[in-house]
Structure 1
Amino acid sequence: MREKIAQLQRLEAELERIASCCGGKTVGDCYVIRALSDHALCADEHG
């Protein structure tokens, strides 16, 4: 259970990081959408 909590905390941190990069103009420019579709853009493993 502790490992799952740790994974969720890493995922939370990653989502906060990518959300802070979003300019909010158009979906095509949205860093959140790009990061969710390409895990190479993630800062950490969140399997």
Structure 2
Amino acid sequence: MAIPPGFLDELRNRVSVSEIVGKRVKLVKKGREHSGLCPFHNE
């Protein structure tokens, strides 16, 4: 099942990925990017 061409762009415009990921992973802002440890490993 293919994702419609404009779907990901619309999703990115509506949702902040860092807000969603930040609920489960501690994120640190580095410049305009966010960084966090992999949630699948005990690091």
Range class of TM-score, shorter chain: under 0.3
Question: TM-score, structure 1 length as denominator?
Answer: 0.26
Tell which has more relative contact order, 1 or 2 (C-alpha 8 A, sep 6+): 1
Q: TM-score, normalised by structure 2?
A: 0.26
Task: Give the number of the structure whose residues are more often strand, by fraction.
Answer: 2
Name the larger-Rg structure: 2
